[in-house]
């Protein structure tokens, strides 16, 4: 019997070594085979196992370009470098073997297998109840999180994800897909609920444990999962509000006073933090450098993969300070390696770069302090937000508006932080606008928003534009707005999901490909 990736992951699991520093728990060694009788004996074994769940944070195809290629399909950005795989994905020409994204499916099932190993072995161990709660809580959280990562991109009303329950025998690891992704959302929601019951609030952690899952992160993800499930079951909308309110009612989170401060290293654990990819100068998220100007003006190995579009720039209200905090255009001043520069680029397709993740590069001594000296693994000390408090407010606003209720209060809380006027009687177009400008370029996934709102076909039928400057080396040069990416053919029957990597199909007797691929 051919076994899928779940089988492989059960046999060999890599883990992270525990240390006294939050940065250090990302740095890991492989300790061998958890399936032998030499493991699951001591509290140290349990700590090693749960730290191993964070191994996913060290995979650049998860924390960097891999996941962002899904988002690059949106109208907010275009491909900055014309590699066949990236251009094809932008144009919805994808068979699932794309080297940038193909690891997402197997890596998430490896994570599920690691979580299952904890859930099988820890309950019967004679260890402290506190450690047992931590281990089980983190295992439930990461199992749910892995399914949440895959569900909106690979599941629909025709097929959900394979659910790999803990305790399955090896010969049972080849699991068929559920008949609807709604089943997947409801399953992972239950895991997040179990995790929330076991985990503490974030403010109960010591510094060494910052970055571990916590109670409000569970509730925020439950709200998000119910919101995504509402595409299939509109009765989910009140549940979105319920769990967003649970986060809000704790008074443990709030909006930063200034939008641009959200994306500063000093606020990695600030009041807007809900859940992020933890990162440092050796391991973690490479996203800031993948956004950075190609070759970084000769100072650092920026990769220049994603360029902001004129359509995104024009989506902001004229007085919205989030526009300049999000996007650098020619002539805009910024700090880079201790110098004040005016933005220009001979590499940029649209004449605009995303600005919001550039904090790590501002100081003259940033190499080895906030930026990895290895430009081929360009991690930084800026944690990449996966859910922040502003998005929880927008979850609530969307659910209320979509359910025919008044969502003005949470929507306007986000707008007021930006110094913008209140909206009265907000409708879905107001919500769509606010999600776009508040979360541009982040992991919130503009592409999937357009898909689940059933707007993708119309939006992608329009070309994308940029600013073509007369002299690309002169930050003050004049420009004309020109088409930089043609209209695309988005088939909502097929392209609302991505193809499962074909190598995963080949490993299984039961796993079926998404329709149309």
Q: What is the pLDDT of residues 192-212, one digit of tens each?
A: 999 999 999 999 999 999 999
Residue 434 near residue 444 (C-beta atoms within 8 A): no
Residue 90 counted as domain residue: yes
Specify if 38 maps to a domain: yes
pLDDT at 8 over 90: no
Q: Determine, yes or no, domain membership for 449.
A: no
**Residue 24 reports pLDDT greater than 80:** no
What are 294-314's pLDDT values in tens digits?
999 999 999 999 999 999 999
Q: What is the mean pLDDT of residues 76-91?
A: 92
Q: Which domain holds residue 211?
A: 5-249+495-506
Helix%, strand%, coil% for the chain, nearest 5: 45, 10, 45
Q: What is the pLDDT of residue 36?
A: 57
Classified as helix, coil or strand, 209 is helix
| Residue range 472-511, pLDDT digits in tens | 999 999 999 999 999 999 999 999 999 999 999 999 999 9
Across 68-152, the runs of DSSP E, i.e. the strands, are 77-79
| Structure tokens that stand for 257 in this block | 């006073």
- Indicate whether 21 belongs to any domain: yes
Q: Checking phi first, is residue 482 left (phi over 0); if not, alpha (psi -120 to 50) or beta?
A: beta
pLDDT greater than 90 at residue 417: yes
DSSP 5-34: HHHHHHH---EEPP-SSTTGGG-EE----T
Classify residue 517: in a domain, yes or no. Answer: no
**What's the total number of domains in the chain?**
1
SS3 342: strand
Enter the tokens of residue 375: 């430009």
Q: What is the reported pLDDT for 34?
A: 55
Phi (first) and psi of residue 447, to 5 degrees: -60, -50
Three-state DSSP state, 177? strand
Strands 384-388 and 327-329: unpaired
Residue 37, pLDDT above cutoff 80? no
pLDDT for the residue 16: 33
- C-alpha 70/C-alpha 498 separation (Å) is 9
Q: How far is CA 82 from CA 65, 148, 304, in A?
A: 14, 30, 11
| Strand pairing report for 273-277 and 384-388 | antiparallel
Flag whether 465 is in a domain: no
Neighbouring C-beta atoms of residue 130, cutoff 10 Å: 9
Rounded distance between C-alpha atoms, residue 180 and residue 228, angstroms: 13
Q: What band does 32 get if pLDDT is binned at 50, 70 and 90?
A: very low
CATH code for the domain of 71: 1.25.40.390
With a cut of 60, say whether residue 331 has pLDDT above it: yes
Virtual torsion, Cα 17, 266, 320, 476, nearest 10 deg = -100
454 assigned to some structural domain: no
**Residues above pLDDT 90, as percent of the chain:** 85
Q: Phi then psi for 148, rounded to 5 degrees?
A: -65, -35
The percentage of residues in the chain with a pLDDT greater than 70, rounded to a whole number, is: 93
Q: Which helix (H) or strand (E) holds 113?
A: helix 104-121
Buried/exposed code over 218-237 (b: 16+ C-beta within 10 A; e: otherwise): bbbbbbbbbbbbbbbeeebb
Model pTM above 0.95: no
Handedness of CA 490, 503, 514, 166 (dihedral sign): negative
Measured between alpha carbons, how far is 138 from 136 in angstroms, rounded to an integer?
Answer: 6
Q: Identify the three-state secondary structure at position 189.
A: helix
Taking only the tens place, the pLDDT of each residue in 104-154 is: 999 999 999 999 999 999 999 999 999 999 999 999 999 999 999 999 999
> Mean pLDDT for the chain?
92
State the Cα torsion 288-289-292-293 to the nearest 10°: 180
In a domain, 335, yes or no: no
Answer yes or no: are the C-beta atoms of 211 and 247 closer than 8 Å: no
Length of the chain equals 517
């Amino acid at each position: 019997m051919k076994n899928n990736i779940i089988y492989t992951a059960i046999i060999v699991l890599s883990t992270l070594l525990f240390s006294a520093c939050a940065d250090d728990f990302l740095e890991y060694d492989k300790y061998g085979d958890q399936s032998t009788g030499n493991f699951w004996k001591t509290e140290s074994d349990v700590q090693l196992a749960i730290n191993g769940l964070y191994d996913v944070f060290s995979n650049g195809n998860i924390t960097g370009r891999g996941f962002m290629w899904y988002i690059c399909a949106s109208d907010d950005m275009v491909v900055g470098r014309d590699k066949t795989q990236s251009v094809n994905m932008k144009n919805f020409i994808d068979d699932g073997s794309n080297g940038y994204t193909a690891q997402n499916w197997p890596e998430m099932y490896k994570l599920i297998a690691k979580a299952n190993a904890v859930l099988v072995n820890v309950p019967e161990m004679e260890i402290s109840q506190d450690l047992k709660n931590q281990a089980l809580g983190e295992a439930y959280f990461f199992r749910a999180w892995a399914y949440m990562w895959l569900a909106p991109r690979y599941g629909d009303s025709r097929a959900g994800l394979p659910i790999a329950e803990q305790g399955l025998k090896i010969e049972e690891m080849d699991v068929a897909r559920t008949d609807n992704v709604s089943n997947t959302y409801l399953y992972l929601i239950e895991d997040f609920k179990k995790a929330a019951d076991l985990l503490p609030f974030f403010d109960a952690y010591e510094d060494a444990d910052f970055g571990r899952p916590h109670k409000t992160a569970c509730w925020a993800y439950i709200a998000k999962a119910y919101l995504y499930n509402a595409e299939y079951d509109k009765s989910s909308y009140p549940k979105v509000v319920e769990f967003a309110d649970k986060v809000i009612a704790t008074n443990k989170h709030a909006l930063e006073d200034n939008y641009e401060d959200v994306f500063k290293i000093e606020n990695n654990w600030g009041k807007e933090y809900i859940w992020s990819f933890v990162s440092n100068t050796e391991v973690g998220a490479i996203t800031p450098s993948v956004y950075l100007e190609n070759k970084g003006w000769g100072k650092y190995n920026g990769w220049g993969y994603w360029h902001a579009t004129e359509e995104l720039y024009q989506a902001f209200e004229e007085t919205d300070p989030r526009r300049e905090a999000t996007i650098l255009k020619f002539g805009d001043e910024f700090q880079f390696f201790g110098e004040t520069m005016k933005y220009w680029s001979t590499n940029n397709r649209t004449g605009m770069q995303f600005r919001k993740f550039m904090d790590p590069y501002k100081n003259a001594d940033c190499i080895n302090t906030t930026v990895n000296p290895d430009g081929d693994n360009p991690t930084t000390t800026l944690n990449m937000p996966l859910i922040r408090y502003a998005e929880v407010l927008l979850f609530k606003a969307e659910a209320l508006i979509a359910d025919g209720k008044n969502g003005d209060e949470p929507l306007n809380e986000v707008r007021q932080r930006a110094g913008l006027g209140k909206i009265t009687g907000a409708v879905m177009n107001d919500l769509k606008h606010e999600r776009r400008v508040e979360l541009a370029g982040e992991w919130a996934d503009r592409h999937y928003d357009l898909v689940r709102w059933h707007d993708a076909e119309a939006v992608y039928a329009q070309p994308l534009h940029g600013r073509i400057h007369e002299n690309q080396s002169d930050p003050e040069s004049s420009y004309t707005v020109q088409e930089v990416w043609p209209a695309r053919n988005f088939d909502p029957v097929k392209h609302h999901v991505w193809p499962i990597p074909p190598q995963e199909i080949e490993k299984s007797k039961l796993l079926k490909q998404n329709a149309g691929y």
